[in-house]
Amino acid sequence: MTRSIDRAFAAGVAGLAMLVPLTLMAITVLVLIDSWPALTTFGLSYFTTTEWDPVKLIFGAAAYVYGTLVTTIVAVLLATPIAVGAAIYLTEFAPRAVRAPVAFTIELLAYIPSIVYGLWAIFVMVPVMRAVVEPDLQATLGRLPVIGKLFSGTPIGLDLLSGGVVLAIMILPILMAVSREVLLAVPPTQREAMIGLGATRWEAVSRAVLPYARPGIIGGAVLGIARAFGETMAVTMVVGNSSRDISGSLFVPGYTMASAIANQFVEADSELYFSAIVEIALVLLLVGIIVNAVARVLIRRSIADRPAGAVV
């Protein structure tokens, strides 16, 4: 009797568990079917051209891919040092009483709905970017050769840089949480050995702790990238939503893949237009799966041999 209950129970939960991968498969197949007309019509030129013309039904998503890459890179470059610095402070230096509240506050950022970030960004951040940050950047870094090009054009606040900054704030919590986790997983013997050899705290952290945690931190950054890739609402509100060309400047309005879907799918009234938008979703889906898989491998590698004594 009990045996049959067990068997039924096992079969039940196995079924429930199967639902998740089945859903993912169903979504992938559906997206593939819906994007088929665009896939076959445009082929590779979909990824290499920037002309997105719903009137003439010519679709090239290169500008969207570019916008997504640029905002994501800006976000990760800004957020990683802050997140790692905060994580080092919390695990190595902060008094015990401070650790939990600070960590909790940073992780709270993850629970703020993205529309709230968007509203804050459009009313508070964008005016500051336009009036202060961007003119200042232009006056300083903008004068340098080569990288000065990044800061050319009229500062308008609704551009790739603003999109990247909002994303940086949004991916901070996950970067912070993962970094803190992997730093805590570094065996205490690592630091003790360094300090025992007469190393300073700086030397202990930079030579013993960080190298040990590096794959995990990179994994966290990759998870941040995955989040930044798919983030829609807040970016859409500040990125400028305009995709004419790839100019190399951060001060031009851009467009990300996710915002292109959000903005356009409702009014996509012809089959080819709709299918071109679904193809963006297909790209996002595949990139998301790949990026998450990479991140998982990296994080696992760094936490795998966590010693029993390490407390989270």
Partner 1 sequence: MKKPLIASILAFATLVAACGGSAPAATGTPGTTASAASADPCGVPVKGKCPTEAQNVTGAGATLPGPLYTKWIDQYNQLTGVQINYQAVGSGGGIKSFTDKTVDFGASDVPLTDAQFDAIPGGLYMVPMALGSVVPTYNVPNVTATIKFSPEALAGIYLEQIKKWNDPKIAAENPGVTLPDLAITTVHRSDGSGTTGVFTDYLSKISPEWKTKVGSATSVNWPGGVGGSGNAGVAGAVKNQPGTIGYVELIYAIQNKLGYGVVKNSGGKYVDASLDSTTKAADGFVSPDFGNLKGQAAKISITNATGADAWPISTFTFLLLPKDFSDKSKGLAILRFAWYGTHEGQAFAKDLGYGPLPSAVQKAAEDALRSITSGGVKLLKVNS
* Residue at 296: amino acid letter: R
First to last CA, the chain: 42
Shortest distance in whole angstroms from residue 245 CB to partner 1: 9
Residue 249 vs 302, nearer CB to partner 1:
249
Shortest distance in whole angstroms from residue 162 CB to partner 1: 11
Residue 121 vs 218, nearer CB to partner 1:
121
- Return the SS3 of 52: strand
Label each residue of 101-145 as H, E or C: HHHHHHHHHHHCCHHHHHHHHHHHHHHHHHHHHHHHHHHCHHHCC
Give, in order, the Cα–Cα distances in Å from 194 to each of 179, 209, 305.
Answer: 21, 10, 19
CA-to-CA distance for 68 and 204, rounded, in angstroms? 37
Q: Which residues of this chain interact with partner 1, rule CB under 8 A?
A: 51-56, 122, 126-127, 130, 154, 156-158, 236-237, 240-242, 244, 253, 255, 259, 263-264, 266-270
Residue 177 vs 277, nearer CB to partner 1:
277
* Residue at 93: amino acid letter: F
Shortest distance in whole angstroms from residue 134 CB to partner 1: 12
CA-to-CA distance for 71 and 232, rounded, in angstroms? 12
CA-to-CA distance for 161 and 249, rounded, in angstroms? 9
Strand partners, 52: 59
CA-to-CA distance for 95 and 293, rounded, in angstroms? 35
Residue 215 vs 254, nearer CB to partner 1:
254
Residue 55 vs 308, nearer CB to partner 1:
55
Residue 57 vs 141, nearer CB to partner 1:
57
Shortest distance in whole angstroms from residue 28 CB to partner 1: 23
Shortest distance in whole angstroms from residue 63 CB to partner 1: 11
Shortest distance in whole angstroms from residue 135 CB to partner 1: 13
Strand partners, 240: 254
